Chains A and B, each alone.
Chain A
């Protein structure tokens, strides 16, 4: 791009300069949305009085969607599938919820909620999903993707090693993105609005040819090929926009276009990729600049501004991907993580809260609560008090938002970072993740004790490790050494699998449009994860502080434990137990850091389970902590269900002790507190929740997923789902419609700790 005080020549719409009135900065010379925002946004510290209710159009649109589509989908599971058109950016014609009322247009297919095939990930998943949705697959499409076109899934299984296959079958490593899109890549969709697609193509062509004079290497060739793919995707995006009647080759000229352009860019991503998490990024301050300009010029009213945000939110509520029922076990409730990150502070100390941040929250009132977009507030004590109160009020009313520490995110990833999926922060447009699901470290502990034999089947899965044979009480030092050794093996196997997966994904299911909306030189992280932290911490604590004796079956396999005496339990702000949890997390990270990684990715770790805590639990045995065979793990970094007996804040303080530097991909805590335990009045509940969040994040907590719910409400919803279509529950870094969970998942949510303060000790 050239340095000008207006948009590039030739892209300017006839009447108006799209950049009129904006404060100039380096954003005009290079693609730099962050600089544009810093130069132009207006922090908002006032109250919520200015907000508007839904327009008639909004209400009509939402009702149409609910009556004609969502109500049917809840009954059918899948509303419809297109079985003849492999998805792509420009694969379908236009589609509308209601042509008259759609303020922001664009659908993934031609009909709302109709799901598209994305066979580049693998044919078998597509075929299964079509069949489970009650449809027949098209044999011609099958022929293409099984005969002529190799898929990501094919490539992965061509490369997998025997130890990976063994660990995968034994559920030591689970949820790997080897048959579905990896996700957790956030295109900087704002770029399309600010610069227009033509300027982005020019930039990518320049970057592609910047290396043209260099010698051949495989990296060089991949760089050039990926740029070509990105440029083709950008051209397809222009075509897709044109079908809807927009010239998105040029920059957006007003707020309406800025919202529409940004959405079309995101739409291109969700039309061409079915990544597990397709997050939208950090839009509010950016869009607010356009809205503020139009409001000041009298070109837009507050009512229209709210209508625009509501319209965008409606679109983000109806993203759909074709998934199998087995996939639903890991990612329950049909989530897609259109995570919208908001608030936080800028590097200059100003709040990033704008009026549009409040408009986004208002959408939950105008449209009612819903799990998507996954609204994620970057919390800092220094956020405006009025905004903090509004967030807390919405949490108390709807449980629909989650909170992440702005300080951790800002310190590590800057003030334009967004959350992908549940808790994964990344610099927008400058960083992507190789998503890695997780390893089951609880099962790893049992493998350490059993010398690589599986506690459920008795079969020898891992060779070369001695079991602990003594029938004496377990010795902490001995168990720790065995655990560390087994953990090292599992980590090696796990990272090997991830390297294979991401090598194949880049090759056969490359996210061209998302990467086109990134810088050419980016940071890649390898997002490793763990499940079962609380079980390992409590079990090691039991071994250290109580007397734990193994119980063996007649083949010598340890299948249970007797634990005598008491022991400190993780989740009660007891340093003795919490230090063990810290040690486990830092040890896992050390083992991962030592391993070679695809594309030299920066190794990170998440302590997050999504909803796989149920399937992990089902595949795992009994523990010294008292955790029973086959029962769900607690979610993420949560203390064991029901074992955090010292109150919600104590539970937060324990989790806050885990060192974020060891888990840069996020540490997830999901808490449920009963409304009566937050206060007698609405005002008390709001102020007390604000206090709890300030206290938790002030103590170093990374994430707080807050439910304000009574158990009885959930029990009613299980008995009478029709009466609770919109009951939203936060499960683990995301929210779901409670009634869309499987019964087993619903029971899991019910078995979690409900923090109550019932005038007496627990």
Chain B
């Protein structure tokens, strides 16, 4: 685990800055096709990242129907303050494992895909990792994309919600908020962090009038208890801008990545939830009047 875990969870500004490890190397199996890595010398990168001219990016893809409506340019930012036991992207946990890409280049990519995103009713989704680990960079991208008329979304745990400015929220059309548990102790067990910031952020999104999708990862014997689901559903039901809830069944597609990274993976033997279980949990959300998939 990285040194981040030693930080007090409340000291989010320090966390965000401490996390600014400039990327060190290219990963094999690049996910950045068509995006040039910056040629800035290493010592200048940190400053460029502070002012949001440079971001650390794991990869991008054009995917459909998962991270927002239509076909989306999904950009996976590197670096995450959470250490979820079930993380399916452990290769995005550390900011220094990403590649340094300039905001200008990333916005050029958005511009390139503007016709495709428009044709499919899609848009841009900043995901990760944790998008709010790089709030200045993310804000710049969201503002730029929205100025082009591209629908914008962020996929976040909300833990670093205070890093999201009102202006940034105004430039976001949709927030995909991952609420990983409804019980403080379970949340901490799953993520290593506190639940409160996530709940606070959700309320801020509503106050700003921004559309919300709530996402809940269903892991057997970890998050599947009815009493764990219930507070998430109750919370979601209080948020007036929620238009859908997605219950995401846990899968093992991340297992190989944990092995490749040589890090211990606690859920190696966990099976995906049975369809009946997934349906039960979805029904729990629906019972609160939520449109749930």
Q: Which residue of B lies closest to A573 (CB)?
A: B34
Given the complex, which residues of B lie within 8 Å of A575, measured CB to CB? Answer: 34
Evaluate contact between B66 and A759: CB separation under 8 angstroms: yes
Evaluate contact between B71 and A680: CB separation under 8 angstroms: no
Please, what's the 1-or-0 string for A604-644, where 1 marks a CB less than 8 Å from any CB in chain B? Answer: 00000000000000000000000000000000000000000
Evaluate contact between A566 and B59: CB separation under 8 angstroms: no
Evaluate contact between A678 and B89: CB separation under 8 angstroms: no
- Return the contact of B34 from the options A572, A676, A679, A684 (Cβ within 8 A): A572
List A residues 722-762 near B (Cβ within 8 Å).
757-762
Would you call B261 an interface residue if the criterion is a C-beta within 8 Å of the partner chain's C-beta atoms? no
Stretch at the interface among B46-54, B131-139, B144-152, B248-256: B248-256
Please, what's the 1-or-0 string for A566-578, where 1 marks a CB less than 8 Å from any CB in chain B? Answer: 1011001111110
Given the complex, which residues of A lie within 8 Å of B88, measured CB to CB? Answer: 758-760
* A649 and B64 contact, Cβ closer than 8 Å, known pairs A758-B253, A760-B89: yes
In the complex, what distance in Å separates the CA atom of A679 from the CA atom of B66?
A: 7
Would you call B96 an interface residue if the criterion is a C-beta within 8 Å of the partner chain's C-beta atoms? no
In the complex, what distance in Å separates the CA atom of A575 from the CA atom of B34?
A: 6
Q: A296 to nearest B CB, angstroms? A: 38
Given the complex, which residues of A lie within 8 Å of B115, measured CB to CB? Answer: 695, 698-699
Given the complex, which residues of A lie within 8 Å of B61, measured CB to CB? Answer: 645-647, 650, 757, 761-762
Would you call B97 an interface residue if the criterion is a C-beta within 8 Å of the partner chain's C-beta atoms? no
Given the complex, which residues of A lie within 8 Å of B293, measured CB to CB? Answer: 680-681
Evaluate contact between B65 and A688: CB separation under 8 angstroms: yes
- The interface on chain A, measured as residues whose beta carbon lies within 8 A of the other chain's beta carbons, has a size of 40
Given the complex, which residues of B lie within 8 Å of A678, measured CB to CB? Answer: 64-65
In the complex, what distance in Å separates the CA atom of A688 from the CA atom of B58?
A: 26
Evaluate contact between B62 and A647: CB separation under 8 angstroms: yes
Please, what's the 1-or-0 string for B221-255, where 1 marks a CB less than 8 Å from any CB in chain A? Answer: 00000000000000000000000001010010110
Q: B217 to nearest A CB, angstroms? A: 8
* A677 and B66 contact, Cβ closer than 8 Å, known pairs A645-B61, A759-B88: yes
Please, what's the 1-or-0 string for B30-51, where 1 marks a CB less than 8 Å from any CB in chain A? Answer: 1101100000000000000000
Given the complex, which residues of B lie within 8 Å of A647, measured CB to CB? Answer: 61-64, 71
Given the complex, which residues of A lie within 8 Å of B64, measured CB to CB? Answer: 647-649, 673, 677-679, 688, 691-692, 757
Evaluate contact between B76 and A695: CB separation under 8 angstroms: no
Evaluate contact between A688 and B66: CB separation under 8 angstroms: no
Would you call B156 an interface residue if the criterion is a C-beta within 8 Å of the partner chain's C-beta atoms? no
Q: A314 to nearest B CB, angstroms? A: 35
Would you call A142 an interface residue if the criterion is a C-beta within 8 Å of the partner chain's C-beta atoms? no
Q: Which residue of B lies closest to A699 (CB)?
A: B116
Would you call B55 an interface residue if the criterion is a C-beta within 8 Å of the partner chain's C-beta atoms? no
Evaluate contact between B59 and A761: CB separation under 8 angstroms: yes
Given the complex, which residues of B lie within 8 Å of A688, measured CB to CB? Answer: 64-65, 70-71, 120
Given the complex, which residues of A lie within 8 Å of B29, measured CB to CB? Answer: 566, 645
Given the complex, which residues of B lie within 8 Å of A673, measured CB to CB? Answer: 64
Given the complex, which residues of B lie within 8 Å of A168, measured CB to CB? Answer: none
Would you call B60 an interface residue if the criterion is a C-beta within 8 Å of the partner chain's C-beta atoms? yes
Q: Which residue of A lies closest to B36 (CB)?
A: A576
Given the complex, which residues of A lie within 8 Å of B70, measured CB to CB? Answer: 688, 691
In the complex, what distance in Å separates the CA atom of A673 from the CA atom of B251?
A: 18
Sample 7 A-B pairs with CB under 8 A, ordered by A number.
A573-B34, A576-B34, A645-B61, A647-B71, A677-B64, A691-B64, A757-B66
6 additional A-B residue pairs with CB within 8 Å, beyond A647-B64, A688-B71:
A653-B116, A678-B64, A680-B246, A694-B120, A757-B66, A758-B251
